[in-house]
Structure 1
Amino acid sequence: MHFEKYKALLIQKIKTQMTQWFESNDLIANEEVYRFLHSIKGTSGTIRLGGILQITTELLDKIEEDADKYWGIEELRDFLYHLIIICDEYENFQELEIIPLNTREGNIPLIQVIDDDVSMLIVLKDALEEKGWMVIACTEPEKAIEQYFDLHPDCIIVDYHLKSNGLQLLDEIHKLKFVPTIMTSMDYNREIRMDAFRNGADDFIQKTVDIEEFIVRVNRQLQRKQIFDTTVLLDELTQVYNRRFLKEIFNRSINELERSKTPFSIALLDIDLFKNINDSYGHLVGDQVLKSFAQYLKENIRSSDYVFRYGGEEFALLFADCNDKEAVDILSRILKDFSQHVFNSGTDRFQITFSGGVFFVNDPHVSLTNALKSADEALYKAKEQGRSRVFSSNVMVPGLVKHILNVSVVDDDAIVRTMLVKVLQSMKLDQNTLNIQAFEDGLKFFQSNRLDDSGEHFLILDGVMPVMDGLEILQKVKQRKDKDRISVLMLTGRKSENDIARALKLGADDYVTKPFSILELQARIQRLIQRMS
């Protein structure tokens, strides 16, 4: 992204605000000065104006947010002198220092850090993100389990003394699938270490942490996960093939199509409203549903066909020597029969359905990516038409409506809002169409009744705003009955442990500390949205 326009806008914003103050005869409230500097600091780092970032950081260190103070004009002018000088230099020479910020691609490892010691959580998250990995932080065990199911991390770091027992959380996670787990603890006695390893920990690290060694050991666990994923053909939970083996079988089928002109069909299936099952009956019941569904698929297809767990509650099937009409007929029969099956959870009984999309492959030049994309479009068309049905993309009517995800940006800085909207608009997502709106404060956000729009919501909230700050918005959002369809990413310029701890406790799905790299933020947003799909 080119930042020159935003740099000019920021310089103009600084000069306009200071002009208003210096031409006024009124005393200026300290809170107003603090919020102004806080806003400038976050934006300047993001658009790579390092000199302004450094100066505003130093100025903020000299004042307190809530100090009961009013500034006189001369006093304020002296206080902001270096900021005035650097803005003037930028306008005249435009040779200010630029901070080199790390960038990274969206397809990167995701690490989940679970620790109710917020100071340690911040240290570990910052260290891991400096390496270029994406980190999801959590202080609450219940939220951690929910994040695990929703986001599928590649490595988990959990504190032994986590409230309600870190070992218990470790045991819950290892009932589900293989994911490398590192346990941390201030205590390093033999019994605690043995206890951790007996409960499935892959490594144990003593606090206080040697960050350099910590990074090496986390990287080793990520390498183990990658090796495991590429060598094991079966999905651990459902015992059908995993998505990595799908690529090999697809390539074999393409070779057969070239050799003998034998076409095939590929399908994507998604269990309808699966999140409601997890929410109502628990994740263990949800796992039982997945296993039963996978087994039923295996038992009701031909020996020449394949079933793969594609991810979460989504499955892929490859039908050899089969056109799309035949594949739709097979899946429709399976849907009709399986929807009659009754599941039990205690005294509750329930039934499930699925939606499906099929793509007929009769051209050897079709890639797996494009075949799956076509099947996925048909799948979402089936969901748009009411679920519990199977469509073929080859005969699908034009004008497919993708899954709508409502994205709201709430930030009082017009420059940040503009950049975030531009970033969101530039994102290409196969399964979602983003409905993007921006708001300058929380009051206007709620007055718009934005959350009444149907579908899922993804909120990007600034932590410090006048009228209603991000934490107040988050608290109000999480009091809603439909809070489960709302995900929240907090942007904060304050590394205050209390603010971060409160945000996580209130239910924020992630936080990013200003200043941030636009490319880094884009990768994080895209990763979170894709994992919500």
Structure 2
Amino acid sequence: MRTKLKLLFIVTLMLLGLAVATIINVSLNFREYSVKSALEKAEMAAKTVEDGLTAHMVNGIMDKREYFLEQISKNDNIKSLWLARSNHIIKQYGEGFNSETARDAIDKEVLKTGKSIKKIEETTNKINLRVTMPYKAITTGNANCLKCHDVKRGDTLGVISMEFDITDMRNTGFITILKILGINLIFIVVVLLLINYYVTPYMKLFEDLQEGIQKAYSGDFTHTFTTKIKGEAGKAVEQLNTLFMKMQEAFGEIRVNLATFVTERAASCNDPLFEAKQVINELSDIYKFKKTIELDENKNIIYKRIIEVLKSKFNIERFSFYEIDTKHSTRKLIYATHDDLKDICNTKHIDADSQKCRACRTNSDVISTDFNDLCYACCSNNIHYLCHPFQINDEASLLISMTTYDPNEIARLTSYMPSISNYLEAAKPVIESNILMDKLHDTSLRDGMTNLYNRRFLENFIDKIMSQIQRSEETYHVMMLDVDFFKMVNDTYGHDIGDKVIVDLANVLRNNIREADLAIRYGGEEFLVMLHNSTDEGALRVASNIHKDFGKLRFDVGNGESLHKTISIGISKFPKDGDSIWKCIKYADTALYQAKNTGRNKIVEFEDHMFDKDEY
């Protein structure tokens, strides 16, 4: 509607401008025409007077000229007419009738110069035209003025002055202009009515198009366009309705399908088409990310990929990345962008018990701006944080802890959460598969009864351990343990009691070694313990504690009886005794053999005389 009014207003101004220009042009031309017409009449009247006076002079009836002039002045709207003689004529014949002398400055000017003067005097009520023309001496034919006048040829004999009332011409022009103005106004009204009649349907269609397109920006293509216009415009409306119907069906399916690939975004865009483009771009990036991590060797490389995405794609400058063992409620730091982030939480307690972390316990985002001191585990008072947990399966989760000193930054980080979740969701099955494979691989490397590493683990990883030892110049004490007279237990009390002895010995080993040490069920009742970077005194102390703790155990064999068992231990030192772990294992086994042959239930350290190294 506003567009139509603007159009009508512009057309009206243009037509009015045209009308004004026409009226001004007509007015100027009419005035020029009126003045020109009056001048032509004045010249004709002056010529008539001139010819008449000449005729009177030739015929010798100059004394009769007054009647002639009176008759002339009654015609052609001549208001007044008079003659003025020159000084030559006055000297020769006198002033003439009614004092035919110069009446004003115009008469004098024309008598002096011999040139005509035409002057218009206009007031609000009247318009007068004054014409003063010279009467000059001529010598043509019978009209030889020199015969009667003592003058030269071309001298001014006198002037003829006339005044015309041309007010009627102005009034006629004014009426004409009013008629033209009326005709123009009628024309303008007719044009506006025609424009309104023909343009209104197009304006309504245009407004309808605007409304439909505005809805389409919001993802609503249900608008139906209507118009009374026939022909090509009507066909275009039908085609547009068909297009919108198809768009509604297609776009609705696209949005539903996109929603199945990515989690809901934090804030929808006002332009769903642009939002769909962003989602498709994100899906493309996530697809590339997923195809990449599917070929990665292990989960640690996948974690590196996620960390790189957080840095490069989302521009997160400060964050920590944790792996949560949900089954055992432990937390492990995988990566931190800054060293100070390691101390923001009460790390020692939370790593040992992840349930003390609010995000892990609630499995929901923890945002510091939601409430003062929201998470009591945070040790910093001037930092803002957003902790985002993500569950992989029942046994494992991830935790991304983002921090900043700017509270406004939290809003930006929060807006990234849906997209970050999309990446984690894409990585979830791959990480879960890697965890399962690690678990299966770990199971194949562990003894099913004691859950200690088995001999296969040692065979698979001994080369890796050796490479690390050589690079860092580390040392190991290798202990080989064996239950004394174990075969008798199985033979006498059965394998159930024998298994109990094996399991309890494994528990004794676990309780007496450090996390950096290794306890391995080497085979049957034989166990291998590798003490990392231990001293000789420390190794003997550990061996003594194991020997003593196991000796305290009593095994119920039924009928109120209990069984007491002992162990023998052999110890070797790497690299003092041998230049490889395998040699030291052999030497520890030799020391164990020495312990068994010398009475059992003892600890024996390897010595060179026990084994011929040259033969090995």
Same fold (TM over 0.5): no
TM-score normalised to the size of structure 2?
0.26
TM-score normalised to the size of structure 1?
0.30
Kindly indicate whether structure 1 or structure 2 has the higher relative contact order, using CA contacts under 8 Å at least 6 residues apart. Answer: 1
